[in-house]
Amino acid sequence: MNIKFGASLLSWITPVWNPEAGKYAIEKTAKAGFDLIEILLPPSMEFNAKEVKQQLKTHQLEVVCSLNLPKEAHIAFYPEAAENLIRQAVNKTYELETDFLGGVLHGGIGVFSGNPLTDAEAEIITQVWSHVADYAREKGVSIGIEPINRYETYVCNTAENVMDLISKTGKDNLYLHLDTFHMNIEENNFYDPVILAGKKLKHIHMTESHRGMLGEGSVNWDQLFAALKEIDFDGNLVLENFSSSVPGMQQMVSLWQKSLHDADALAKGSLNFIKSRCL
């Protein structure tokens, strides 16, 4: 396996980007011993890539990007707005001199139609994905699409949902981005989705069932790591757990219970857990 170990920006700060908080997250990620940081891009795209690139260089840290589509860029309803935003995210990824953009790129988080995804909506999504995939290829960027649970979207809840839509596009730079928190809700197990994706799996958010310390919840890590070994996984394992010790985090991600661990302990302990299974 060829694995890079990362931490999400959200392991250290709330999803509201500003330069000071971003610098802090980069410093903390490097100090904790990760290979890379996943920067969740703000939908405003108010993000100084040149400045951030210098910070990454100073701390000898690699980077990947992600974007979660907001409600006003729900692809099925607002395809032009969604395509424009994803293109902007590809540009920021390119400016950071990295080659991966992941995230919830199938629909706006929290948007529901009241019904399952229709064929007409699926066609709109695949058209937008096709356009942005072509644009991303010109920039040398691969795109990973993250399915999330039924309480946050009706579009893509499972690995199979994403893989089916990717196959309709015929684009080879679209990949699957999994998240073990959402898998724990939507998938039958943690083995089959990984095997289904195979080499189309490039990025995984490693997070426990309660968003706390890895190994202290109900995620079946044995199944996941067995599957990763079987496909000879080549990609990123990125920690995305949350601590109530981060100001504003409880309100931003509905983390109503007080965390057992602060952000530093959570990050370092979870990284050790992942490495112990991989190395």
Number of H helices, E strands in the chain: 10, 8
Q: Is 146 a known active-site residue?
A: yes
Q: Is 240 a known active-site residue?
A: yes
Conformation bin of residue 103: beta by default, left when phi > 0, alpha when psi is -120 to 50: left
Judge contact between 106 and 145, C-beta under 8 A: yes
**Burial status of residue 175 (CB atoms within 10 A of its CB: 0-12, 13-18, 19 or more):** buried
Given 152, 187, 208, 240, which residue is catalytic?
A: 240
Identity at 40, one-letter amino acid code: L
**Bridge pairing between strands 100-102 and 62-66:** parallel
Spatial neighbors of 48 by CB under 8 A, at least 6 apart, are 19
SS (H, E, C) 105-118: CCCCCCCCCCCCCC
Given 38, 83, 146, 186, which residue is catalytic?
A: 146
Please spell the DSSP secondary structure of 28-50, one letter per residue.
Answer: HHHHHT-SEEEEE--TT----HH
**Coil, strand or helix: which one is 202?**
strand
Rg of the Cα trace of the chain? 17
Cβ atoms within 10 A of the Cβ of 251, count? 10
Pick the closest to residue 271 from 64, 89, 33 (CA basis).
Answer: 33
Spatial neighbors of 141 by CB under 8 A, at least 6 apart, are 90, 93, 94, 99, 100, 101, 173
Q: Would you please indicate which residues are annotated as catalytic (active-site) residues? A: 146, 240
